[in-house]
Structure 1
Amino acid sequence: MPEQNRHVRGHEFYPPFADLEKIPALYATDGQSFEEKTLHIHYFTGGSDWYIAEVDPASGLAFGWARVNYPEGEWGYIHLVELEELYLTPAPRPGALSLPILVERDLDFTPTRAADIPAMAS
């Protein structure tokens, strides 16, 4: 999977291949309740979070839970290549701090059951 914004991010967007191999393939956890699914990767920016439970490294398509600038989130499919490519620079406003929007991988995140993620409980 390509990394278009690594130079801006300062670290790899995707985990090492050895870690990616440990994540279930798409549909592999279909029979499991959402609460029992293990989330393997956490991405974030501003008020948004993406947690990955399944992934297809060849296509970059993943399944997980996302909350995008809203208090509630939902389960669904996430295209990791599009998430990595997201890089917006808001138009400057007088007197306002204008920070770029760039999705980052939580480098300290360890695989966690969905039921144990505080953001998902709210």
Structure 2
Amino acid sequence: MTTYPAPVNDALRGHTFYPPAHELATIPQYEDLHPDEVTIHLHYFAPNSDVYVAAFDPTTGLAYGWGMIGHRDPSHGDWGDFSLPEIEQFRATRGIGWFERDLHFTPGPAKTVLPRREPEPPTTAADET
């Protein structure tokens, strides 16, 4: 049973924000996550933002996952709770900006799905002078 608000921006994005109910049912709730084997089930994106869903509560719309909001640098990404209904209802006040579900995303282990921070270039003695 869902109690969270119905999507309001589906017409803008041209597809449904939430996947079909049978797909949502496969996403574990937070208490069922296995910390060493977290699977990312959904990916949402907007200009300069990405959200990856690992857990979802279908009664509240609350999700747990990894995201970087307002930038593209993975070093600023973090794990935490977020509201999918709030993300769905977000619309930038200027320009194009709403979250879309990545229709081509394939679920997989967080360690292989999440973006990685590029390694820092090595420093040399010449760089330090």
TM-score range, shorter chain: 0.7 to 0.9
Give the TM-score normalised by structure 1.
Answer: 0.84
Does residue 110 of structure 2 align to residue 106 of structure 1? no
Distance 1:117 1:40 in 2: 10
Of Structure 1 and Structure 2, which has the larger fraction of its residues in helix? Answer: 2
Of Structure 1 and Structure 2, which has the larger fraction of its residues in strand? Answer: 1
- Structure 2 stretches lacking a partner, 5+ long: 118-129
**TM-superposed deviation, 1:86:** 0.3
**TM-superposed deviation, 1:118:** 4.9
Distance 1:20 1:118 in 2: 20
**TM-superposed deviation, 1:9:** 1.1
Distance 1:44 1:77 in 2: 16
Residue aligned with 2:111, SS: helix
Does residue 79 of structure 2 align to residue 78 of structure 1? no
Does residue 4 of structure 2 align to residue 3 of structure 1? no
Distance 2:39 2:114 in 1: 14
Q: Which has the larger radius of gyration?
A: 2
Distance 2:53 2:89 in 1: 17
CA 1:52 to 1:100, structure 2 compared with 1: closer, same or farther past 3 Å?
same
1:62-101 deviation digits (Å, cap 9, x = unpaired): 00000112312000001000000001231xxxxxxxx321
Residue aligned with 2:64, SS: strand
**TM-superposed deviation, 1:43:** 0.2
What is the RMSD computed on CA atoms of the aligned residues? 1.2
The residue aligned with 1:64 is: 65
The ranges of structure 1 where at least 4 consecutive aligned residues each deviate by more than 3 angstroms after the TM superposition are none
- Structure 1 stretches lacking a partner, 5+ long: 91-98
The residue aligned with 1:87 is: 91
Give the TM-score normalised by structure 2.
Answer: 0.80
Q: How many residues in Structure 1 have an aligned counterpart in Structure 2?
A: 110
Letter in 2 for 1:13: F
